[in-house]
Structure 1
Amino acid sequence: MPGTDPKAPRPPSALSRRRVLLGALPVAALLAVGCGRQALGDESGTRRLALVYNGPQGCADCAPAVAALLRKAPRPFEVKYVGPGTGSPLTAETLAEAQLYVQPGGGADLDRTWRDLRGSAQLMRDWVRAGGSYLGLCFGGYLAGRDPGFGLLPGDTYGYAGSPGSTVPDDRDTVLEVSWRGESRHMYFQDGPAFRLDAGADATVLATYGNGAAAVVVAPYGKGRVGVSGPHPEADESWYEDEGLTNPDGVRFDLAYELIDTTTRRP
């Protein structure tokens, strides 16, 4: 586990219904795959497919919130839940049909979860490198990093709460202000990551926290793309109501749609 260095990467701490430990992707079910034309676009006008992890240890409302966004997006997706208990294991055949894979929030122990996922790391990298898109929200953002993680980012992650200059002292659910492409916006937040990018990294920082740390990032990975967010752009009204929170901007999903579109768009 990480020490007391506030700049060291650390897992999100416990416990809310969106912090319940994520279940593991079945290692044997992940195979190296490529992505052809069907996976990379919708030139034929057919609806694109997004796989959303919804294993038994994920929180009850994390995957459904993302699924709702994807179905209602300006360029909508067909959504399929994958993972243990869904009836749809994550397989090479499933991935080959999809453009987007989403790892929602809902985790509590990064190191413990990674023990279950590390056997899949190279397989996931192969799929994204071949043209797939990975979207990681909060805990899924941590899992896109390294030490531990899939290693999909040109850099790594660390916990924003309690880091130098952070406006959030601990792991409470809160609403924080970010700068999204230079505009002040407010987002739901619960112990999500910040992103420390390598010098000269090829990455687009869509949003920064109040201390200037990267909060939302999209970066290429081979022929694919990786989009990650520390805050929760997918949070709907119920998330705010359950925690007695108010978003000064109102509950809007334009930031979520921009992140999804930027993550799945190809040059």
Structure 2
Amino acid sequence: MTATPRILVYEDYVHNNAQLHRALRDAYGPFAVTTCDAGDLHTGILNKSVNLFIMPGGADLYNCEKLNGAGNKIIRHYVEDGGAYLGLCAGAYYASRDIKWAEGVEDQAIIGLRELNFFPGTAVGPVMDFIEDRDVTKSWNHAAQIEWLDDMGPMPATVHYNGGPVFIGADDEPGTKILARYTSLPGSPAAIIECGVGKGHAILCSPHLEHGATTLSRTLYNHANPSFNRRWKIIDTLIKGELSRKMVWDRMMKRALTPQKTSIAA
């Protein structure tokens, strides 16, 4: 990894990822981060000079609309050739073999295959236990408990959940390493995973580790917000666990920016 990494963040013009940009600039400086869209990918912006490609949160159907076909081939070639992919929430769904969003919920379900297929399993969400009244039409925000599990040792953390998946099949897939689990859910399902992809690797992260409690509180509004009190309680919980969240974010980013040298063991 270079002293100042080159990080490329995909921009779909639909979602606001200002908190992600702030977290990256705070960590690596103002010149480390560049954005790109589907058109930029076709002109060759995603090349070996890029240390990390980030597909941020939002809704993955917008990614499908713009990138299915040629765009996804460019992303996959970059990773297979030694690049690194970080998928956050929607970006994690998008890089799985298939997605099951709100399965069985009328007018909400999104089910289907995805082209990147970095994780050869199913991304299932939202986690009903985390969303308001278990109703996908209400707030998906939650202060979730995870445990980070890399070689530096386990670390519990309180993190912001906002609709991300659990990864079905991650425990049995030899090319996949579980980096964190949701400890507050039955069976502690995988919350963050790493997949070997050719010479490169992909990290798929269900929670929004980039969302600090302070920056998240700036998004809170009261006017016509039926979940205002609930969301404020969630932010208050996140404030108390901010140090652990930041440490896990730093560990994940360090791992994402470290070139893959050996195959990933489960």
Is the shorter-chain TM-score for this pair beyond 0.5, marking a shared fold? Answer: yes
CA RMSD, aligned part only? 2.5
Change (3 A) 1:155 1:50: same
**Residue in 1 that maps onto 2:77:** 126
User: What letter corresponds to residue 221 of structure 1 in structure 2?
Assistant: V
1:161-193 Cα offsets, whole Å, 9 max, x none, are 12xxx4543442111111222433111011111
Gaps in structure 2 of 5+ consecutive residues: 98-112, 221-230, 262-266
2:41 touches 2:74 (CA, 8 Å); kept in 1?
Answer: no
1:93-113 Cα offsets, whole Å, 9 max, x none, are 311121111111122xx4464
Give the distance between the partners of 1:67 and 1:222, measured in 2 at CA.
28
**Residue in 1 that maps onto 2:159:** 187
1:57 and 2:14 equivalent? Answer: yes
Give the distance between the partners of 1:204 and 1:75, measured in 2 at CA.
30
Change (3 A) 1:55 1:223: same
Give the distance between the partners of 1:56 and 1:75, measured in 2 at CA.
23
Gaps in structure 1 of 5+ consecutive residues: 1-40
Give the distance between the partners of 1:57 and 1:112, measured in 2 at CA.
8
**Residue in 1 that maps onto 2:247:** 254
**Residue in 2 that maps onto 1:204:** 177
Shift of 1:155: 2.1
Describe the SS at the equivalent of 1:90: helix
1:83-94 equivalence runs, <5 A:
83=37, 89-91=40-42, 93-94=44-45
Residue among 64, 71, 74 paired with 2:25: 71
1:47-95 Cα offsets, whole Å, 9 max, x none, are 2211111231122xx2x322232233379971101116xxx82245311
User: What letter corresponds to residue 123 of structure 1 in structure 2?
Assistant: I
More helix by share: 2
1:173 touches 1:190 (CA, 8 Å); kept in 2?
Answer: yes
Describe the SS at the equivalent of 1:253: helix
1:70 touches 1:77 (CA, 8 Å); kept in 2?
Answer: no
- Moved beyond 4 Å, runs of 4+: 74-77
1:142 touches 1:149 (CA, 8 Å); kept in 2?
Answer: no
Change (3 A) 1:184 1:170: farther
Shift of 1:250: 2.5
**Residue in 1 that maps onto 2:94:** 143
Residue among 227, 239, 257 paired with 2:216: 239
Q: TM-score, normalised by structure 2?
A: 0.71
